[in-house]
Chains A and B, each alone.
Chain A
């Protein structure tokens, strides 16, 4: 074989592989235009980690915007003003101790042109009968569901789970029965994946633009019922492209370069960019972002000395949360209330209890508390267990979560200063999560409980019993394995208390807060933000404090059906582009 011919062959193969890349990438798509018009396209990122699985709202990794842009819910919830928004339901209320009535809004149409009716609502509520639906427990308490004269009436067998049901009303996506009729078993609910979902929302999927590794493209419908009925402005962006997450560095670069209009990742140093006018945030000053969830220190309450509330109180006193907020986060987050309740839930906060049970913090306070509780120091200057054995607690956060890693190191140094020996254990996210769920840890920093319409979700997370040691383990609750039957009964009671019984609700919340502050089953640290950085290069009128646009500026799952969609409908073109 001649050298020249070999070189030619090599070049030919290289060229062929490039052509193959092109052919495979292009696939069957035919381009009538070169690109989506940038000035009419909203580009977002920060929601999708890993490939976009598809369009099953009952799966865990569906395309960003699936619920909110395409599928809608009966109600929505505004966490800033704390009120429900009647949406596909003209109204949805408790009409009796065991009865819930949904009045279906007339004039709503699916994207296939069919009207949205009571039978569609019934169809969707009946999907809850499958035990792979996350709301199946609510369905088990349903006695009957009937539809007549534009209403769906749900009757319950026993006392309803008022809180959970109300929460479900703004979270259950309404899928088209024309597509959803294939769901005839629990298994099929998990594998359902329409290629082009039919929804009632303002956008439909632009299927040729969908690339599971890169983006989902939503295209504006010509008519949307909410705009037609003047319940909402019609959204301006003709296309919404949500990009798969890459890295924080890339995200920041993409925002600054104008590739992305909105990014919902935590971007360190954003306060400097706000000061320089390069990006916008909800607040112009600290904390820059609305709060999304509570970052807390979860002690494993089944291991010594963390099974001792006195020790936990001392540990809490030792941690310098303000140092974390200022030096780690540069005031991008707020220190948490002693109750851990999110700002949205402050109306439930018992100020008297907070005043009575919140404790002073500092190294000296922690040392004093430990001594008072009977702990003594060993020869190395660290406190030891009451039985004389040494204390050396491990603490973990998911590897690579740099802000949490810094916070962890600060917690360690605070604890050591107070004489509590502590060391970091490095775990990748999955190991960290599996160990947390199965109780193989001393301390973890966690933020599992998200913002919702009711603090019940937070209390349910902290106090849930029984503690499971098999199967899924502690999947979503009580990772600290705190056993307090009285508190758990209160949580159950709260769920089953009618929303009209305000005094009872306040009383239960007060008791749960008191227990938390006295026993510290978890140690509240700071509020993680609804990270949202946006630029006005193409779009203006972003949500902002002090304006009439008090919306959640977030594309994450569960946020568009709060007021994320309002963010999109209130955006305006930047006429300068």
Chain B
């Protein structure tokens, strides 16, 4: 088992290196110059002063250096835990921007992923054996899973927020709310969280429900299920085994879908002006804030790799065949 994890760790390290390099390269290869964007806000009337200020900021961000040196300094800083300083929000450190935004994203993402996975599998399993549910939940699930995250977000925002004013159109809490441990503030947070959460939850839910429904049908038609039925095992027991076996691909799917849900979360935040990482990265990209782009993507890269690693571990734990296989036994 140790060898298995060592190999996985090697793969993840290589992935990390490549991903971080791409993460550094993409913003630096974008057209334009972020310092010019920063300077545009200063409205300097004299060109000599403009030149001074321009060179000051170029030096401050190491942008006056050759690309290879910038790349080298990027790794040196990274090793020291320094993600740099935001250009647009100068002199705010990127770390503080991420720390401020990450809870909003995680607060959306983790419940959406886990609850959609749980309820999607439950509903899918039920649909596999109940005709009425199969006829109603299945088409709905197909529609939901085929819906782009952003489109559903826009639809919910337009109908429930902009048109009917049932939910707020943006932000994470009411503009007049005072932050603190009060029921009013918690309620305000939940009220603003609901629509972005539902946008993510519904799309992901559909996918899980379809997957589980199909897997259960497949499992119920397999030899071991028929054998159990022939032995006179109760239907409940057969379905229980079928569900267990159907769950394994769903766990693998969880790892695969993480990146997509995360991307969905980013665009959902933009639609709802929800101040998480997606909203920050959108602002950073539109303003060429290299260091914020790099920092947030780095956070995402590390998050996705860790989540995949956790799923790898869970898979070993829940699937006895894998565990036994790695321990050199026979399944």
Contact = CB atoms under 8 A, between A and B. Distances in A.
A362 interface: no
Most chain A beta-carbon neighbours within 10 Å: one of B89, B184, B247: B89
**Interface range, A side:** 35 or more
B177 A50 contact: no
B195 interface: no
Contact of A134 (B45, B177, B189, B280): B45
Interface stretch (B71-79, B104-112, B255-263): B104-112
A101 interface: no
A131 interface: yes
B293 to A, nearest CB: 13
B104 A7 contact: no
Contact of A10 (B92, B115, B318): B115
Nearest to A432: B32
A575 B314 CA distance: 62
Contact of B53 (A7, A132, A254): A132
**Interface range, B side:** 35 or more
Interface string A267-298: 00000000000000000000000000000000
A214 B275 contact: yes
A390 interface: no
B8 interface: no
Given A433-B36, A464-B47, A472 B177 contact: no
Interface in A456-494: 457, 460, 464, 468, 471-473, 475-477
Interface stretch (A29-37, A313-321, A323-331): A29-37
B107 A137 contact: no
Contacts of A37: 176
A449 to B, nearest CB: 10
A574 interface: no
Contacts of A464: 47
A373 interface: no
B201 to A, nearest CB: 10
A430 B101 contact: no
Interface in B51-96: 51-57, 60, 88-92
Most chain A beta-carbon neighbours within 10 Å: one of B100, B117, B176: B176
Interface of A: 1, 3, 6-7, 10-11, 13-15, 17-18, 20-27, 29-38, 41, 43, 50-51, 53-54, 59-61, 131-137, 164, 186-187, 190-191, 193, 208-209, 211-215, 241, 243-244, 246-247, 249-250, 253-254, 257, 259-260, 428-431, 433-434, 437, 450, 457, 460, 464, 468, 471-473, 475-477, 558
The 7 closest A-B pairs by CB, nearest first: A31-B180, A60-B41, A21-B107, A213-B275, A24-B103, A34-B184, A472-B54
Given A31-B180, A131-B52, A430-B287, 18 more contacts: A11-B115, A20-B107, A21-B106, A25-B172, A34-B178, A51-B89, A187-B56, A190-B56, A190-B90, A214-B173, A241-B176, A244-B273, A250-B273, A254-B170, A259-B175, A433-B36, A468-B51, A472-B36
Interface of B: 30-57, 60, 88-92, 97, 99-104, 106-107, 109-111, 114-115, 117-118, 161-162, 165, 168-182, 184-186, 189, 193, 243-244, 247, 273, 275, 279-280, 283, 286-288, 317-318
